Amino acid sequence: MKPILQFNDRFLENADKFQGEFFRRFKLRHAPAPLKLTEQVTKNYLFPTFYGDVTCALAVFLCSYERAARIMPHPRLRPVKMTRGRSLVAFSCYEYKNVMNVAPYNEIAMTIPIMVEPGINIPVLPMILPVFKNFGYYVFSMPVTSLENQIRGVKIWGLPKVVQEIDIREEGGDCITTAMEQSGEPYLKLRVPMGGKPTEFDVSSYLYTRLGDDLLQSQTCFQGTFNVTKHMRLLFRKNLPPDREYLKIYDTPSGRVLRELDIEEHPFQLRFARHMNSCFDLPKVH
């Protein structure tokens, strides 16, 4: 999808797209004040933001714990420890077909699983057991194809959103996502198989960002059937060669930032869903 750089003060009338059971769990409300997007455009959005009929391709890779720790934006955050001096990095690629009051767009959330002020940073378990209240995800990069949503993300949540072209397509049983620099040069290509073990997800978690001096916590919820492929043997083996190329990072400015994480080539987990529902709420100072 090419970047969408124009927007106005009108809302897209699409409330009929969000009548299912998942969306009825949440009470829509306005923020304490409308958001000034530009000198000419101010909007009073409803929250949480609803996303319906979302195509999601997600890939989790092992990376260097030391490198992941370097990019933490706040001293209270620590990457989740995995085996053999590693942490995790997740690439979540979204085709948002229906967004409450907003035009469709594509997005990639690049995140690192984290613990907030862990007394003991227990390896692996926070990724398996949903009992760690201080577990969440730090968003270190978030390209998006919509200028309106880039401004929203930066001003409301402190998300590191940048407007870029993001192509999401299906080919040979895979969902392929390509992110481009502003020059049009690709810097990331991710291949996620659309097959796998069908698994139901109904999950609530937290994203962490920094806005000024504040550490913000924002709840995100999603529901859907994902086709999942796991490679648990990677916990015991480092730099295992994959059967094919799942992740390609190019030698560009954005690509070099990703290369600094020393990401392994073999994916740890892959997920694909064609019809996910989700929502993202206003942040709280944590």
Quick: pLDDT tens for 2-18: 999 999 999 999 999 99
* Predicted local confidence at residue 122, as pLDDT: 80
- Amino acid letter at 4? I
Residue 129 has pLDDT above 80, yes or no: no
Determine how β-strand 135-144 pairs with β-strand 197-211: parallel
Q: Each residue of 139-190: pLDDT tens digit?
A: 999 999 999 999 999 999 999 999 999 999 999 999 999 999 999 999 999 9
pLDDT recorded at residue 232: 94
pLDDT at residue 132 tops 90: no
Residue 138 has pLDDT above 80, yes or no: yes
What Å distances lie between residue 183 and 48, 212, 254, CA to CA?
Answer: 34, 30, 12
**Residue 286 banded pLDDT, cuts 50, 70, 90:** confident
Looking at residue 205, its pLDDT comes to: 95
pLDDT > 80? residue 131: no
Let me know: does 197 contact 270? Beta carbons within 8 Å: no
Burial class (CB in 10 A: 0-12, 13-18, 19+), 21: exposed
182/34 Cα distance (integer angstroms): 30
pLDDT at 260: 98
Structure tokens at 121: 């940073």
- Residue 72 has a CB neighbour count (10 Å cut-off) of 17
In the chain, what are the domains? 15-285 (2.40.400.10)
